[in-house]
Structure 1
């Protein structure tokens, strides 16, 4: 372990640097200026940023020539569910770090839902060996769902008593407005503990303004990553929140939110940082990660320096980690990017944790997943199912049923749509002609064997079935389709293989992605996973679905916080009322 005394000597050039970067142009995010500078690195930390670092050079010092390049701090993703990428931590690092993302903020909450907080020890051990920093926040509680769904481990105030004082816990993750508004005791205790230990509270309050926002801010929440309009975004910034622009694979909010800056007061820029929340491999491979957000912001009219600050220093300050990351300065961790020029922002070389990861867009570091313990191996703890298990029984043998469907009108918007369906042999029938499919959420953690049934619309599924065991926030088994036999086959295929995503048609599995890590992730390379994602998407399109990403939409169905309706293993949820609803509105015999 390098001691402070050694770092002091390295800063004074009494011991040679391991690495020097010379002849580049520094993007100094602390002062908002560009100027020529060299950088010296010793033992993963920056020890000098000057116009000449030759005094730091020794016989074994490595040189990187940055002529014509701009030196930019490593980028920070302020809110991401890594598990939603379906990549293991190692493979996610392999995907994101070459795009300049050297730090992320995450709750690792999808893992917690399956393997518990203690199970994260294995994940933390994996992260330690990666060129990627993970600033972990303990979820305010789990499950997030209201009413409460079933997961393998429930985070409570007792967990916050234990973990918040610890060095590797950087705050309270994704505190939703409703948990505060309902004065949930575990949530309030977690927030009180955060204040005691001076840990930031990460908020989640979509479409919250006025008195509702004022009440939410009384909780002490410091950061928020959910704004649906630039007016909402600006109000939150004006009221002191560190606001985060989200641009995920399915929720595109940058163009709207950045208007708070491009059409509003310049001072709002210091409140803004970036996050991707949920991304898939093929999207990052095609467009980039945070580097893509920087480019989008610049294209929207944000000055390059401002966009770089939003992707680095602003996030570091928001999450109280600017003592180690966020800028290129002596004493900071050596997370440094070489980009072609600020306005274009193409990342060419990445140094993270002092390691050269890519050079001139070519990989230098090898990413090898660790051996996995049995505890992390996916297992869906549920008996095999029959087609009849997916039927929706009613007391009337024939006639019609007026049914409330969960209608998808966007990736993060679901509304009620009432339709009339046929009853046959005492079962309400899905109806492809009316764009109504059956949906089930099945408890997979071996706790209670819950099986909730309902109906969805807006999917255009005309035959077959799809299923996923990667389904935040509880990662139960979600199955949708218009053929009950195909729904059973889809569910049983995932139970047999320990988790994944599948498309079934006419009794045949036509696409399958196995997710052996907790039933939600894989050690496939990003390229291999992207190919599987494309295969699944095309297979779902063969069933008639016209959604941009049917498996992603399916995985989000149990997230109750997405307005207005959801379905969990506990039942159909009306989140506007924070209660379950019966999808059968009326039965008729004729």
Structure 2
């Protein structure tokens, strides 16, 4: 009662507001105009727009003020730091709220992983909302660390920080009326919460069925026609600018004056160095404006659209009664951030790094290099071909040379072709598969890591079996992370002790390590236009077209089946 009275009295100018931003150029997401006025704030809440006096006043003449930015879909784990540290990184970029899907850590640690993300994110400055992982494992035949069904997820669904069900990647489970999937969907619908989608390249009948299940978003469009078709049928389309997947520029022509309210910005999977160097949602805004999108619409997409989509009615706009999450900046086009206000207070670099302990997650015996030997059963093999700037791949056939009945090498066309392998690491089942990948360009070295979406088994590439052996065994001995090996020597590594995905070390330490690893990857041939570690991580995700590799073999999404290496 007292809080409401205080706000009403301040709104009526009977008392001074706690904070007033004077003469601000306010971005109004409702009228799509800029208006110059004062913004009066009492604690967490905007209480008035007009002419006000405040106990504390900030002169915002010649400065713009926008609602705090909202990342509509992000996997914090891809930054390789904890939610608490991630919060410190993105708030400096104007991001005050995020909708996170913790399906990476959940695929390793199950419900314990979700608990960790909820608890650790509460220590951060920004508001972290959670979408419960819908596909753990991503597909029924995946070998991951946990299985999350509706009965387990239901204990989280009423948590105020849980906004619904995360990206439903297994489209086939929906269209085939898989009972386990439908139970998760019904559980979410009964709670009147959102269901996120993930449906690249689906047919119109599949899309209709998918929407009938109550799924309302998608972040996997690859072209304008696909985006417009989904908007036409009522979906919210997320414009993604991650580290490996950058679809924003390709999809922007789909946005116009009539449909812009159906689009949101997201980063999905973004490495820490990209956040530090380029930004987060602020980067999306700059790119969109540079590519010709009306600036006010860019800021609206970055704030109000996301809040509206996810039923966050208290934020996303600068108006009385809304949460005082604001970004103060110079130059509406270049977005040079001066200050960020979170919960009515200017953010002042309150960086914390809570120590985190985690149980062992790499449960695997050391391997030998003959694990990577492939018996020749034909004259040609299927090869995964990487597409720079995309998570999608193509399936190519390449000739091989043979020595002692084993594949000696794949005959190169125009590019380097590496061996790639995935080895199960959660239950020591000895499941593994070996194939070939074209387009990364690695020479004279091997890279191994425990980041391999979404089951996060060990994935390794290399141009010789010995370096691949040492790389995998280094990962096992260090209980997760990223390593590079050349000429039999471990050159450098990043330790990721939290599920093999994250660390609680300071961003400076992580940046230093990943920068050195990046330089080494480039030194040994990985192309500049390819993110070496994030691209490698997605080579194990079978739900993204077209050819991927899991510990069970090559998976062709177009036929939704495993194919033999020699099946041409």
Superposed pair shares fold, TM > 0.5: yes
Aligned twin of 2:98:
104
Q: Which runs of 5+ in 2 are unaligned?
A: none
Deviation of the 1:294 alpha carbon: 1.0
**Alignment CA distance shift 1:458-1:47 (3 Å):** closer
Contact preservation (8 Å) 2:355, 2:504: no
Which residue among 398, 402, 413 is the counterpart of 1:423? 402
Aligned twin of 1:551:
533
Q: Distance in 2 between matches of 1:441 and 1:309?
A: 42
Contact preservation (8 Å) 2:365, 2:428: no
TM-score normalised to structure 2 length: 0.93
Bigger Cα displacement from structure 2, 539-548 vs 170-179:
539-548
Aligned twin of 1:42:
42
Aligned twin of 2:339:
349
Q: Distance in 2 between matches of 1:369 and 1:498?
A: 21
Which residue among 268, 271, 275 is the counterpart of 2:259? 268
Q: Distance in 1 between matches of 2:320 and 2:131?
A: 27
Q: Distance in 2 between matches of 1:156 and 1:448?
A: 23
Contact preservation (8 Å) 2:358, 2:499: no
Deviation of the 1:466 alpha carbon: 0.8
SS at match of 2:92: helix
Deviation of the 1:202 alpha carbon: 0.8
Deviation of the 1:539 alpha carbon: 1.4
**Alignment CA distance shift 1:232-1:336 (3 Å):** same
Aligned twin of 1:247:
241
Q: Distance in 1 between matches of 2:440 and 2:358?
A: 37
SS at match of 1:72: strand
Cα offsets for 1:482-518 (capped at 9, x unmatched): 2111111111111111211111110112232221222
**Alignment CA distance shift 1:379-1:220 (3 Å):** closer
SS at match of 1:584: coil
Contact preservation (8 Å) 2:185, 2:195: yes
Contact preservation (8 Å) 1:201, 1:221: yes
**Alignment CA distance shift 1:37-1:48 (3 Å):** farther
Q: Please, what is the CA RMSD of the aligned residues? A: 2.2
Aligned twin of 1:88:
82
SS at match of 1:392: coil
Q: Distance in 1 between matches of 2:419 and 2:16?
A: 66
**Alignment CA distance shift 1:19-1:506 (3 Å):** same
Aligned twin of 1:10:
7
Bigger Cα displacement from structure 2, 486-495 vs 366-375:
366-375
Aligned twin of 2:547:
565
Bigger Cα displacement from structure 2, 542-551 vs 344-353:
542-551
Q: Distance in 2 between matches of 1:175 and 1:197?
A: 17
Q: Which runs of 5+ in 1 are unaligned?
A: 358-363
1:439 matched to 2:423? The reply is no
1:330 matched to 2:323? The reply is no
Aligned twin of 2:279:
288
SS at match of 2:73: coil
Q: Distance in 2 between matches of 1:565 and 1:130?
A: 38
Cα offsets for 1:362-421 (capped at 9, x unmatched): xx222111121344xx53111111112222246x7xxx6422122223332212222232
Q: Distance in 1 between matches of 2:352 and 2:263?
A: 35
Bigger Cα displacement from structure 2, 64-73 vs 483-492:
64-73
| Count of aligned positions | 560
Residues 388-467 of structure 1 aligned to structure 2 (within 5 Å):
388-393=370-375, 401-410=379-388, 411-431=390-410, 433=412, 435-446=416-427, 448-467=429-448
Q: Distance in 2 between matches of 1:179 and 1:350?
A: 43
Contact preservation (8 Å) 2:49, 2:320: no
Q: Distance in 2 between matches of 1:208 and 1:450?
A: 31
1:491 matched to 2:472? The reply is yes
Deviation of the 1:473 alpha carbon: 0.8
**Alignment CA distance shift 1:130-1:232 (3 Å):** same
Which residue among 147, 163, 181 is the counterpart of 2:156? 163
SS at match of 2:430: coil
Aligned twin of 2:357:
373
SS at match of 2:155: helix
Q: Distance in 1 between matches of 2:408 and 2:178?
A: 39
Cα offsets for 1:128-168 (capped at 9, x unmatched): 121111121112231113x5211211111223433323322
Q: Distance in 2 between matches of 1:120 and 1:190?
A: 16
Deviation of the 1:228 alpha carbon: 0.9
Q: Distance in 2 between matches of 1:80 and 1:47?
A: 27
**Alignment CA distance shift 1:392-1:17 (3 Å):** farther
Contact preservation (8 Å) 1:22, 1:37: yes
SS at match of 2:258: helix
Contact preservation (8 Å) 2:354, 2:504: no
Contact preservation (8 Å) 1:10, 1:16: no
Q: Distance in 1 between matches of 2:455 and 2:350?
A: 33
Residues 191-340 of structure 1 aligned to structure 2 (within 5 Å):
191-208=185-202, 210-261=204-255, 265-321=256-312, 323-340=313-330
Deviation of the 1:451 alpha carbon: 1.8
Q: Distance in 2 between matches of 1:41 and 1:449?
A: 60
Contact preservation (8 Å) 2:46, 2:323: no
Q: Distance in 2 between matches of 1:529 and 1:253?
A: 27
Contact preservation (8 Å) 2:70, 2:96: yes
Cα offsets for 1:29-71 (capped at 9, x unmatched): 133222223233333x2141222232xx4xxx44333222111
Contact preservation (8 Å) 1:113, 1:152: yes
Cα offsets for 1:528-566 (capped at 9, x unmatched): 433333322221233323252222211111111221111
Which residue among 477, 485, 493 is the counterpart of 2:458? 477
Q: Distance in 1 between matches of 2:208 and 2:396?
A: 33
Aligned twin of 1:580:
562
Bigger Cα displacement from structure 2, 500-509 vs 384-393:
384-393
Q: Distance in 2 between matches of 1:42 and 1:442?
A: 55
